[in-house]
Chain A
């Protein structure tokens, strides 16, 4: 009914503006996604030595145990991480939504902080705790328990699960909170016990959100680069394998790195497609009339429920606390000394102020671009669905299924030769941030617009306000909160981006995550802790602003 408002708006000289936006959307997709991805595709079919078409890379991948092992490692890690995230996330969601747990808001905030913190910080923190001389390992040793080595699968799954379980707990809690009380009451009224009700009514209602969360965890773990890079040791997964191959193939054609990238991207695509299909298929539109009851527990039961919830969240934020603690320890070079000081911070600001500056500068520029382009494209997608837009919409979602490592390799192979040479510039880093966040921004702008009743814009026009003025005085103010909170989330993820930028940086374009990774690799834990703490504070402040000023709940963070 309302689609014609868009047409009306587009009549006359405004046609050019929105056509331009659509054209720009296609240009972005073609130049910064299709071109680099196609380049990877092409390289995977080029022989390393002769540089002619061949299947040699693919043959190598499927015949050498070294490569296949990384594939199976990736799958195994993702499965285990998903499993343990559910073990942590489901009880937390259930207890915090169905029973009165004191400090639920604090628990949610802390788990979101763990979720949004840079992936490599958790990994690195576990090394300080459970590494060869980690204090927890020594502690356990003193009471006779020998923990398995942290480097390898154990460490990756530990760090990943504790980072990603909030996807499960937040999405499940969201679903649990929106099940109408009367559905469970109806079940009990029809004679089902509460256990039966849980399994035959509550759980099936929550299942779509739960599986949605599980697939996101699987996907995140599959494409995570930072954690396995820092804590994986010789245990290679696809992203670290691709990175290693690329850095060792630096003087030749990046054939194997490209092949591994394609395989990684295919895995990711399968998961994304599955997730999209599931989320479109099983969504129970329930009219929430009666909110679910939050029961009060008494005595021991209450104590145990609190203990469980606090233990899960404490366990996941422990690595962050340890990092902050170490950042204030006295250091001498790579060695920690007794006592506290601001040495590590001083060192950052004297030695690498440029790195800190770069991180802020690049991410801010990227975010301005993301918010601007994302809003315009989101508007086109929500309000102007013509044939071109219907093609553009899914194309804009490609970055969802491109792991950072793959995008990084694509960018470097595509943009270090004419016609577009960008390698070594700040622009290529900013573009990486931009492309990786663009789909989130487009989606969120479009979904905000879908929630704005087109009748509001019509009312503005009907009252005599021209389309431009209507957009400015009605549409934009209604979108503003969503755009800004989305932009803040984009800013945080850009600040914390490692997997693509580590392939693209040169000395002068180094950013904080890269510096942290290098410091950890060199054993300079003090510097790494201080920088990690800065990133954590940035993440926390951003979360606080979004929560406080834009009244956006945890959905915003999951969407991020």
Chain B
């Protein structure tokens, strides 16, 4: 039985459709991320599960129990807030004990559980501190300990790291992941940071405009995006809208854009005049020789040296193309304005229908 099940969920705010047709099943112990740009509905979905919003349509089940009409305070979900929401008038101990005291646990049980929760977030010895004496990272640890202490059926994270600085964010996300795995509590994590989502999640649901675009493991989301939105939002990708040409045999086909001539997989392109050919910056290879297959020739507009890689921005047929070269050597670094040429292997191409934005060809579902 799934830990969380959401069926045909729909939510409007006045005229605005915040969520529609949401269907999800989250397994017990799974770390599930809702990823998307701001306003995509991910927070609305999380808050609907917590019971702070009430859906217009559809059902939410936790551990098989329909909770549509269960008030927020009886849902037993532990939420970690974006701005921590640590009670400023209580000590760290009182904060973590709050949910336990509401549950009328004995004094001893409260102390034991608070101590355990604080230990797991490395805040032993901070019991009597007040929140104003804590850093942002420490406050968020209190928030996490407080949510875990009640042993919720599901932990809900509402962009918990977005107020922390970059270094702390990476540290904390690993900690959250470690604590979650050790306790095995089902977790739903909301973020707009695609890198964070890829690192932390068992599975990701990419959302846009209130609709789930794709659900999958981080690997699948990145390598096998089902539409242009997912491809764009997760990682960096180049997209060229090309005219379809003759077949090239062996399931391949010609496609052109100005002087650019590619050989692309033919599957799924039978009934459309144009196709979007997409490829990741890191999949581009050096052209073996002039005139080699799938060559892209362009003018170098910018070169950004980023340490482990160098990123080139090329002007190709009036389109901007990004190319990453790993372990760049100094001799590899052409000057701005230079004419350069690379090649795109056919096997690393992703094809999309320009009309619908949907994936076509191999790997499309």
Residues of A within 8 A of B (CB): 1-2, 4-5, 8, 11, 453, 455-456, 458-467, 469-470, 473-474, 477-478
Contacts and interface: CB of A to CB of B under 8 A. Distances in A.
B53 A465 contact: no
10 contacts: A8-B71, A8-B72, A11-B71, A455-B85, A459-B87, A460-B87, A464-B103, A464-B150, A466-B71, A478-B88
Nearest to B43: A1
A227 B216 CA distance: 77
A456 to B, nearest CB: 5
Given A4-B52, A465-B73, A465-B99, 10 more contacts: A8-B51, A8-B72, A456-B88, A458-B79, A458-B81, A459-B146, A463-B98, A463-B146, A464-B73, A464-B74
Interface of B: 43, 47, 50-54, 71-79, 81-83, 85, 87-89, 98-99, 102-103, 143, 146-147, 150, 156
Contacts of B47: 1
B73 A474 contact: no
Contact of A464 (B53, B54, B76, B156): B76
B52 A8 contact: yes
A465 to B, nearest CB: 5
A115 B44 CA distance: 49
Contacts of A478: 88-89
B102 A469 contact: yes
A473 B99 CA distance: 12
Contacts, number: 78
A11 B156 CA distance: 24
A461 B47 CA distance: 12
B153 to A, nearest CB: 12
Contact of A458 (B52, B74, B103): B52
A477 B98 contact: no
Given A456-B87, A464-B103, A474-B87, A4 B73 contact: no
A161 B71 CA distance: 57
A450 to B, nearest CB: 15
Interface residues of A, dominant DSSP: helix
A459 B51 contact: no
Contacts of A459: 79, 81, 85, 87, 143, 146
Contacts of B79: 458-459, 462
B98 A465 contact: yes
A474 B98 CA distance: 10
A550 B78 CA distance: 33
Listed residue (B50, B52, B83, B87) with the most chain A CB atoms within 10 angstroms of its CB: B52
A459 B82 CA distance: 11
Contacts of B150: 463-464
Contacts of B74: 464
B138 to A, nearest CB: 16
B81 A4 contact: no
A4 B53 contact: yes
Contacts of B102: 463-465, 469
A406 to B, nearest CB: 41
A463 B89 CA distance: 17
B73 A455 contact: no
Contact of A455 (B76, B81, B98): B81
A136 to B, nearest CB: 51
A371 B322 CA distance: 64
B49 to A, nearest CB: 11
Contacts of B51: 8, 461
A44 to B, nearest CB: 45
Given A5-B52, A8-B51, A461-B73, A453 B99 contact: no
Contacts of B99: 463-465
Listed residue (B43, B47, B50, B76) with the most chain A CB atoms within 10 angstroms of its CB: B47
A481 B103 CA distance: 28
Listed residue (A4, A11, A470) with the most chain B CB atoms within 10 angstroms of its CB: A4
B163 to A, nearest CB: 12
